[in-house]
Amino acid sequence: MKLTWYGHSAFRVETQDATILIDPYLVGNPSWSGGWEGPAEGVTHVLLTHGHNDHVSGALEVLKKSDAMLVANFEICMYLVGQGVSDKKINPGNIGGTVDCGGFTTTFVQALHSSSFAGEGGSNTYLGNPGGLVLHFPDDKTLYHMGDTDIFSDMALINELHEPKIGIVPVGDRFTMGGAVAALACRRFFNFETAIPCHFGTFPIIDQTADKFVAGLEGSSTTVALPKIGEAFAL
Owning domain of residue 141: 2-227
Q: What span, in angstroms and rounded, lies between the C-alpha atoms of 109 and 90?
A: 19
Per-residue model confidence (pLDDT) at position 136? 98
Question: CA distances (Å), 14 to each of 1, 17, 108, in order?
Answer: 6, 8, 20
For 189, the 3-state DSSP assignment is helix
Tell me if 76 is assigned to some domain: yes
Q: What span, in angstroms and rounded, lies between the C-alpha atoms of 145 and 23?
A: 10
Tell me if 235 is assigned to some domain: no
* Residue (of 118, 130, 142, 122) closest to 15 by Cα position: 142
Tell me if 117 is assigned to some domain: yes
Q: What is the mean pLDDT, run by run of 10 residues, along the chain of 235 residues?
A: 98 97 98 98 98 98 97 98 98 98 97 97 96 96 98 98 98 98 98 98 98 98 98 97
Domain count, the chain: 1
Tell me if 87 is assigned to some domain: yes
Q: What span, in angstroms and rounded, lies between the C-alpha atoms of 76 and 59?
A: 11
**CATH number of domain containing 121:** 3.60.15.10
Q: For the stretch 26-50, what's the b/e string if a residue is b when 16 or more beta carbons lie within 10 angstroms of its beta carbon?
A: bbebebbeeebeebbeebbbbbbbb
pTM of model > 0.85: yes
Task: Confirm if 146 and 154 have CB atoms less than 8 A apart.
Answer: no
